[in-house]
Structure 1
């Protein structure tokens, strides 16, 4: 099956009424425009449920983006992708796993000579991304060959199930890339804090309800030794400070 045929059948699978229902639900309950256009202070004032929804939507969108990249890429490099039982396949997994482990250790403070060298960082990231893409295109190729073979009559239900399976297999990618992002300082989380009369920093953690907000002496609740609850009205006209933190 060609890429054009596969995409055509995918569009047929996504029926318009179902899409409209999902869009209506998202706009009414999740309000993605408010979520993704909110600045760092507004996001820090989200409730736990809102923050979870924000992170979940972001993760799903990242996963879909990777699927959009990997699916056509698999068609174009299918001839050079190694067989799952090929020795080279095991090399990809082993090398990628070693690099990921070294990156994690480096992020924890060890092997700083690696992190201080742009050449080493660039080489590690490039090799890891090649291993990651080859591993996933190999996985995609396996499903395309077994479920979307030209030898069998195309089955829309099977195609839909295969897309769901591929989505589930692709879900870990954003998690896998967190240490890599931290390693090269690709992106940063921002924390927001205020200072009291004693110049003590109090980080905004999340909104408890519409009237109150939880603050702590660290930028993550699990690290806090002190917390306090303030009414949001008390924060009016209070200067907020923002600081970048590692992912």
Structure 2
């Protein structure tokens, strides 16, 4: 574990160098421990793949004082990978066609049928490692290695919100419309950012995403329900065993 200053109002706590679930478990365990520290002048805690960034008020605590307290909290934090409950967010996806313009090209690239690409993609529970790039954009781990494909050589100028893409060994969902170079294989009608919700961001680091296929007709039905604010996202807790 390494603690370094990050500008004059934050510190970076590095808990590993490889992107693994074990390392991310440590990141989230320490995130939880710090979240309950009410006596520290912490403003915000931002988890990522291997690093926890802690923003604090330097007028109340120096870097060295904060570092000493963080080391103590680290020593007192349990990083045991025992069985625990995990939050699963279910996202419907319409694969291919206008919703997934790169699906057939990806299938050809990896050497399997389109139907198998869909099955492989929807047959995983994806860990939300971090939120970044765009507001609410989840970087998801757990993609089947057989679906790995580099980013497009020429990015698109406009990728619609909800687009589900693959880039390298990762999959993700465009939370808002944006330029982008990921291989787009489908789209979800569920907004990842919605200001009508009490918590506008649908996903958080440490949660899991489970995709399931819907056809275009069902996509439009869900989209209409979302627009009328009557659709309820499936979000539940399941028990995961130690991995």
Normalized against structure 1, the TM-score is what?
0.19
More helix by share: 1
Q: Please identify the structure whose Cα radius of gyration is greater.
A: 1
Q: Which structure shows the higher strand fraction? A: 2
